[in-house]
Structure 1
Amino acid sequence: MDRDIATADLARYPSADRIGFARLTRMAFEGGDLRPLRDQLVGKLANGTANAGEGLDLALITQLLGDKQTGLALQAEVLTAHQLYRSPCSSERPKLRVLALAAAIDMGGNTPIEFLLENSGIELQTLYVVAGVDLPTPLPEHDVAIVIASDSEECVEALRKIDEVAGRWPRPLLNPPRLVRNLDRDKLHGLLRGIDGLEIPTTLSVARAEILPIAQSQAELVSLAAELNFPVIMRPRGTHAGVGLVRIDDAPAIARYLAERPADDFFVSRFVDYSSADGLFRKYRVVFVGGKPYACHMAIADRWDIWYLNAGMALSVEKRHEEEHFMRDFDGDFALRHRGALAAVASRVGLDYFTIDCAENKNGELLIFEADNTAVVHNMDSPDVFPYKGPQMRKIFDAFAAMLDRARPDREQAA
């Protein structure tokens, strides 16, 4: 199969149209009621008139309404029968055709690429790489392909299948799977360690059986790694957005934490106090497009475990003014201050598109928490509350579209 994919011409396949991730997520984000649309699609599914795109939309709506298990079950059923989907395009005559390679995972497990390509005039088709189904031979028509599956355990098989043919892909392939796999928290620590002007806390993947002796005071924390000492932070492996994230100050706290969490594997990291002089914590998201960093957002809170939705940015004019300054002056301030560290991160990660969540430590160095190729980068926030965000997001989206355009084969030949 590898040889066939590498040598065959591309082919046109039926592509199921869908409402898509961006439009449905925006409806939910803005408080729209998705239940009438859900009920309509359920009715079509029941009488056998729903097409594959409508089935996939229903699976996403079900997840957005809070029923993840049912949504994933429906998604699995739909993807077994059909794997290629077309997202809404702002142009009837697209200037570029992009093929996104996705895994059959929950709604946050693939790069939300639709947000990046809205109003770009670029056609997006998504090919889901699913268990038990080979990649089509020939591959679907496209100018540029990009891997949007994440580094999570659920995506291992999809990344493996893509990686088998990545070196002989008939068109440019961005975000190759071998590099995506380096983003897991413990691997990232090893990848970025030693960069001048950058701190990344020691992070270990630890099985429950390995940490139980510490919880029972039968072993010391340093038995896991010499760099670890209390306090540490723990989270179940595979979680994001602060789910299960806690600060642990001593062995009894580990015992209490394990009693509350059924997971078998955890990430354990050295805790870093990154509070500023005013006692507040500032956490940044930076987007790398073609190696260049862009400001995505800034969250400010009186707690260390920040993510944007718990920072109350919409409730504070002062916080928003500071975020506006971060975005407006990014190139001449934050990016200039950390120029060497950011360039080294871009080089070592090597992906065409990814994000980092970061801060500044007490010494003014860049402090990296995580890197990700699937973090949500969007333009859904209210322009009345966040008037500075729209122009910044459009700058990122334009850079992403330009990166894809530069990768197209005819550009390579012209160069």
Structure 2
Amino acid sequence: MGHDTPGAALAQYPSADRIGFARLTKMAFDGSDLRPLRDQLLERLTKGTASAGEGLDLSLITQLLGDKQAGMAIQSEVLGFHQLYRSPCSSEQPKLRVLALAAAIDMGGNTPIEFLLENSGIELQTLYVVSGVDLPAPLPEHDVAIVIASDSEECVEALRKIDAVAARWPRPLLNRPNLVRNLDRDKLYGLLRGVAGLEIPATLGVTREQLAPIAQSRADLPSLADELKFPIIARPRGSHAGVGLVRIDDAAALARYLGERPEPAFFVSRFVDYSSPDGSFRKYRIVFIDGKPYACHMAIADRWDIWYLNAGMAFSAEKRREEERFMRDFDHDFARRHDDALAEVASRLGLHYFTIDCAENKNGELLIFEADNTAVVHNMDSPDVFPYKPPQMRKIFDAFAAMLVCAGARREQAA
């Protein structure tokens, strides 16, 4: 990967300590009232006595409380004068130093790597790559670096800056920016089309102007792409977590959708009915670590637009028993059934760490909705309600830590 000499210069820089993403998100998830902490940090920021780490924590808390605009304004101010942050570490003598390369985006735009490393004994520092500030030269001390910025439009400049020096990076660099950029929905289709045993609907990026004639019945969907026909799935370009995601059955419904949405650009794809024989829809999240797939979660619902929180898994013992079987039997059931397709996905994407959200189509093939390097993979669910989850999450976290340690060891052997 084009390492410099073993003695390649790295430097020690002041790193601002944080409460961190994992702890604050867990507090919010558990229903803790974050407002007193927000007010305390806001007072310090107003007085000019807040540290950079406290400022970044305040930005996250503000976003967790639902005020994204104010949270992002705080983050922009803080990152303008400090870019390097240290997360809490479970060991006073870390076995490895990891440098995560992040973009200045909202709380869902970078890999939530703290969840993966929380009890690993690995030191995590995060370097924010921001507009108007060059990457530090020499780089901060680390054993392994990993890109955690996403494929979002807001991350383009950060990925470009990292990519410009990637070939000369003095340590192992995982999830290289040129590979992260392949995860956008339309690029992913181009990358994975034609894989045996896998279905991925063509996803097109289209403008409002391109959709308008179809909504007015002056053109038809195949004018955009041969395989498109109603019903279709539409979502605003750049949206996540189901924002603006709809099934559109005809031109009149498309006209209503465009009338309700302000965005200038959208992704559209054909609708695939992936319901099981019992009428329920089953959606899976699979984590890939160094090419190997791991079960992350399974959501079951009577609606096609599932994500875990709207599936009501916590309220159905029957659904949880099925998810438990999915996790327990994954290696010799789901992963074996789709072994060739999963292996080809890992090979074509080439990333050290990513997730896919997927299902099985009516023919039993792997149906892929999206791939991502920033999906939340966590162990926050109640062990009383989901006793089968902590062992599975620890398996994933251990594999992620082992991948980083191996990358560091390969560097030492090369030296």
**How far apart in 2 are the matches of 1:5 and 1:200?**
43
The Cα of 1:410 is off from its aligned counterpart by 5.5
The Cα of 1:337 is off from its aligned counterpart by 0.3
Q: Which residue of 2 aligns with 1:91?
A: 91
**How far apart in 1 are the matches of 2:105 and 2:134?**
17
Q: Which residue of 2 aligns with 1:189?
A: 189
Q: Which residue of 1 aligns with 2:114?
A: 114
Equivalent AA in structure 2 for residue 40 of structure 1: Q
1:373 aligns with 2:382: no
Counterparts in 2 of 1:252-331, with a 5 A limit? 252-331=252-331
**How far apart in 1 are the matches of 2:263 and 2:412?**
48
**How far apart in 2 are the matches of 1:4 and 1:160?**
21
Residues 148-197 of structure 1: per-residue CA shift (max 9 Å, x gap): 00000000000000000001100000000000000000000010000000
For the residue of structure 1 that corresponds to 2:406, the secondary structure is helix
Q: Which residue of 2 aligns with 1:208?
A: 208
Structure 1's consecutive aligned runs of 4 or more residues displaced over 4 angstroms after TM superposition are 3-8, 409-412
For the residue of structure 2 that corresponds to 1:277, the secondary structure is coil
Q: Which residue of 1 aligns with 2:133?
A: 133
**How far apart in 2 are the matches of 1:101 and 1:161?**
11
% identical aligned pairs = 82
Equivalent AA in structure 2 for residue 103 of structure 1: A
For the residue of structure 1 that corresponds to 2:295, the secondary structure is strand
Q: Which residue of 1 aligns with 2:100?
A: 100
The Cα of 1:45 is off from its aligned counterpart by 1.0
1:24 aligns with 2:27: no
Equivalent AA in structure 2 for residue 373 of structure 1: N
Distance 1:5-1:55 versus aligned 2 partners, 3 A rule: farther
For the residue of structure 2 that corresponds to 1:124, the secondary structure is strand
**How far apart in 2 are the matches of 1:340 and 1:313?**
30
1:238 aligns with 2:218: no
Distance 1:7-1:119 versus aligned 2 partners, 3 A rule: closer
Residues 22-58 of structure 1: per-residue CA shift (max 9 Å, x gap): 0000000000000010011011112221000000000
Query: Contact 1:185/1:370 (CA < 8 Å) preserved in 2?
Result: yes
For the residue of structure 1 that corresponds to 2:357, the secondary structure is strand
The Cα of 1:278 is off from its aligned counterpart by 0.1
The Cα of 1:129 is off from its aligned counterpart by 0.1
Q: Which residue of 1 aligns with 2:402?
A: 402
The Cα of 1:240 is off from its aligned counterpart by 1.1
Q: Which residue of 2 aligns with 1:172?
A: 172
Quick check: 257-266 or 40-49, which moved more? 40-49
Query: Contact 1:104/1:130 (CA < 8 Å) preserved in 2?
Result: yes
Query: Contact 1:111/1:375 (CA < 8 Å) preserved in 2?
Result: yes
Q: Which residue of 2 aligns with 1:47?
A: 47
The Cα of 1:411 is off from its aligned counterpart by 5.2
For the residue of structure 1 that corresponds to 2:217, the secondary structure is coil
Q: Which residue of 2 aligns with 1:15?
A: 15
Equivalent AA in structure 1 for residue 376 of structure 2: V
**How far apart in 1 are the matches of 2:349 and 2:370?**
12
The Cα of 1:409 is off from its aligned counterpart by 5.0
The Cα of 1:64 is off from its aligned counterpart by 0.3
**How far apart in 2 are the matches of 1:7 and 1:209?**
55
Task: Please give the TM-score of this superposition, normalised by the length of structure 1.
Answer: 0.98
Query: Contact 2:104/2:129 (CA < 8 Å) preserved in 1?
Result: yes
For the residue of structure 2 that corresponds to 1:323, the secondary structure is helix
**How far apart in 1 are the matches of 2:409 and 2:376?**
28
Distance 1:23-1:347 versus aligned 2 partners, 3 A rule: same
**How far apart in 1 are the matches of 2:374 and 2:81?**
25
Query: Contact 2:290/2:403 (CA < 8 Å) preserved in 1?
Result: yes
**How far apart in 2 are the matches of 1:232 and 1:5?**
53
For the residue of structure 1 that corresponds to 2:145, the secondary structure is strand
**How far apart in 2 are the matches of 1:148 and 1:384?**
32
**How far apart in 2 are the matches of 1:300 and 1:6?**
50
**How far apart in 1 are the matches of 2:112 and 2:398?**
16
Aligned residues: 413
Q: Which residue of 1 aligns with 2:66?
A: 66
The Cα of 1:7 is off from its aligned counterpart by 9.2
1:357 aligns with 2:357: yes
Equivalent AA in structure 2 for residue 88 of structure 1: P
For the residue of structure 1 that corresponds to 2:368, the secondary structure is strand
Residues 319-360 of structure 1: per-residue CA shift (max 9 Å, x gap): 000000000000000000000000000000100000000000
**How far apart in 1 are the matches of 2:306 and 2:385?**
20
Distance 1:256-1:312 versus aligned 2 partners, 3 A rule: same
**How far apart in 1 are the matches of 2:412 and 2:355?**
26
**How far apart in 2 are the matches of 1:352 and 1:182?**
14
For the residue of structure 1 that corresponds to 2:219, the secondary structure is coil
Quick check: 40-49 or 230-239, which moved more? 40-49
Q: Which residue of 2 aligns with 1:348?
A: 348
Equivalent AA in structure 1 for residue 369 of structure 2: F
**How far apart in 1 are the matches of 2:320 and 2:382?**
12
Equivalent AA in structure 1 for residue 247 of structure 2: R
Equivalent AA in structure 1 for residue 316 of structure 2: S
**How far apart in 2 are the matches of 1:411 and 1:52?**
32
Query: Contact 1:172/1:409 (CA < 8 Å) preserved in 2?
Result: no
Equivalent AA in structure 2 for residue 177 of structure 1: P
